Amino acid sequence: MSGLRIDPRLEATLPPHDDKHSQEFEKMIVDHGIIINPILTWRGLIVDGHNRFRVATKHGIPYETKAVFDWCQTIEEVQFEMRRMQAYSRNLTPHQRAEQCVAIVSYLTGKGMRKIDAADVAANAIGVTRRQVFRNIGTAKVVAECAEKLSDEVKSVAPAVVTELPVKDLKTLANLPHADQEAIIERNDGDIAKIQTELKRSRAVPAKEPDDEVFGDPDPRQAIKTVNDAARLAKRPLLDSITDAMQSLGTLNKHIAACKSLGSRDYNDCRFAMKTIDHVLERWLEDVQASEGVHAGVK
């Protein structure tokens, strides 16, 4: 089919292939001399199969097309459907899955849907709970912040560190000076597994024996540490408290379900009360997420 076009916005909606994967993919297609899966299109624009289209055009290999998303009227609607389609993919990394959650929720809230309802749509598409969607949104935010701290050379030489490194390791890498970031990438030749191993080792700190007490008085440094620990505990994010409350609510719900012998009226009253509390907590969680986890009473 001639006249197919590549729209940069649609192509950027899909997870990119790294250079090594693209070369192996091209070699496989050339060796077989055929494009097995059809190239998906919408009004002449490629929706899925950009790399297949380039390889087929370059080597003169025949291919088939299939029109999709006929009900969509705009590029934004197509992007939304692409993300929902990608959400079912099994080969997405946790970072990519989180990005899909953010994109779906952002699109739907931009259309006027409540954030909690948009989270339910994303949860159904990806096959996770609503709470996991909110966690994914938080993960995507952390990944974006870490990506901004990486040097340009790291992002160009080893872009996979942003999408494949676990969040804890990505944060460790992002907090290093640019020279150290680049040195780690170079030492490990861009290998994600090796990079992850080195970052884990860099976080390993030998356990420190407690300082001896003098004349029965605690070491001042230990006292300061205790105060700091107490201060950190006092500043625990409100979001964590809500999550704990919701988990406790789930446990209580199971106990109530096991107490039908109390009598239908008492049981129904308990169920109604639990439902009301759950609704309040869900709204509270939504408000806290909307304000990015700001502590209650803290300005």
Domain spans of the chain? 8-67, 88-142, 150-203, 236-299
| pLDDT confidence of residue 119 | 87
Place 259 in a pLDDT band, splitting at 50, 70 and 90. Answer: low
Q: What percent of the chain has pLDDT over 70?
A: 65
pLDDT on residue 141:
84
Pairing mode, strands 65-67 and 39-42: parallel
Mean pLDDT of 46-50: 90
Q: How confident is the model at residue 294 (pLDDT cuts 50, 70, 90)?
A: very low
User: In Å, how far are 128, 189, 226, 233, 234 from 230, measured between CA atoms?
Assistant: 35, 43, 6, 5, 6
- Smallest Cα–Cα separation from 101: which of 64, 59, 71, 129? 129
Sign, Cα dihedral of 66, 71, 74, 77: negative
How many residues are there in the chain? 299
At which residue do the structure tokens 């749509």 appear? 121
What pLDDT, in 10s, does the model give residues 119-140?
888 888 776 788 888 888 888 8
pLDDT for position 298: 39
> For 122-216, where are the E strands, in sequence order?
none
Residue 292 pLDDT more than 50?
A: no
Distance separating alpha carbons of residues 158 and 12, to the nearest angstrom: 18
